[in-house]
Structure 1
Amino acid sequence: MPSRFWLILTFIVAFGPTRAHPETPPKLLAVVLDQAIVAKLPAGASTIIIGNPMIADVTMLKTGAAMVVTGKGYGQTNLIALDADGAVLLEEQVRVLPARTVVVLQNGTSHVSYSCNPDCMPTVQLGDDPKSFNDAGGEISSRNSYAMGGSGGGK
């Protein structure tokens, strides 16, 4: 029995005491690539900061009570809200996820995406083969230009 006591004591000394109340993990906002969500802001928020604007974009609404978070690239970054005095009111992680309606065809190093909702049509996604990305992107740009009353520029 005494050897067990010394073993436990050695373990406690080696690894130290643990916290009775572990830190709460930061809140996670999940947003789909090329989509936006509206999230609440704490009262008094006057400034919002996004860690990596290539992953997500954030815009405070005029009322200051909410913000719009838009997924711009895959990955995870942080978001901080400050009050007028610079005190941190909110710290959250923002994770940008792929759309669930996208089917990816992989052929060797070639990567082509199709949006399937319910029919599959070519789409552009980060990581696509440059040729298919440019071809589909050009078609989308031409279509949008026609819809806005432009000449479209076609191929």
Structure 2
Amino acid sequence: MRRFLVAIAAAGLVIAPLLMAPPAWAVDGAPINVNVNMARILRINAAAATVIVGNPGIADVTIQDPQTLILTGKSYGQTNLIVLDAAGNPIADTLIEVIQMQAGLTTVYQGQSRTTLSCAPICQDTITMGDDPNFSGRAMASSQIVSNMGN
């Protein structure tokens, strides 16, 4: 009888993680939204061992600790996120949508040339896909200079 109870308890330890509910952000089927160049924390109910992003050019996910993932938006678009446990069993499979934050942005059109500024509270150049390449290049060079000064 004792061996039987130990066997049932052991089976429960193996099966229990498989029966755990998926994380709240994966239940309703709605995509997880994250802004371009921003990060978001995702908490999960089971320990993640592997994360897979369908298109790593759109988003990146890292495992902060076994139950905390960091999602970073890299470029506009949609992709999917699959989270697996150590045994390779799926914990979550959900859609990710990377969007552009609109608050505080001002778009300036000069003919067919477009530039984007972040105006909160003062206007500064912002690198945005679709902007004039010369403007974006100057903005990137400027940010590189500032970054190098901090090192």
Range into which the TM-score falls when normalised by the shorter chain:
0.7 to 0.9
Counterpart of 1:93? 95
Query: What letter matches 2:113 in structure 1?
Result: S
How many pairs were matched up?
124
Pair member with larger Rg: 1
Query: What letter matches 1:83 in structure 2?
Result: D
CA drift of 1:25 comes to 5.4
Unmatched segments (≥5 aa) in structure 2: 1-26
> 1:7-27, CA deviations, whole angstroms, 9 ceiling, x for partnerless residues?
xxxxxxxxxxxxxxxxx7524
Counterpart of 1:68? 70
Counterpart of 2:80? 78
Percent identity of paired positions between Structure 1 and Structure 2: 33
Contact kept in structure 2, 1:82 and 1:90, CA below 8 Å: yes
TM-score, normalised with respect to structure 2? 0.76
Q: Are 2:24 and 1:41 equivalent residues in the alignment?
A: no
Q: Distance in 2 between matches of 1:83 and 1:147?
A: 39
> 1:96-131, CA deviations, whole angstroms, 9 ceiling, x for partnerless residues?
111222211123331101011111111211111110
> After TM superposition, where is structure 1 displaced by more than 3 Å over at least 4 residues in a row?
none
Counterpart of 1:107? 110
Unmatched segments (≥5 aa) in structure 1: 1-23, 149-155
Contact kept in structure 2, 1:26 and 1:91, CA below 8 Å: no
1:1-150 pair list within 5 angstroms = 26-61=29-64, 63-100=65-102, 101-148=104-151
> 1:7-63, CA deviations, whole angstroms, 9 ceiling, x for partnerless residues?
xxxxxxxxxxxxxxxxx75242111110101011231321111111110000011x3
Q: Distance in 1 between matches of 2:77 and 2:111?
A: 24
RMSD, matched Cα? 1.5
More helix by share: 2
Query: What letter matches 1:46 in structure 2?
Result: A
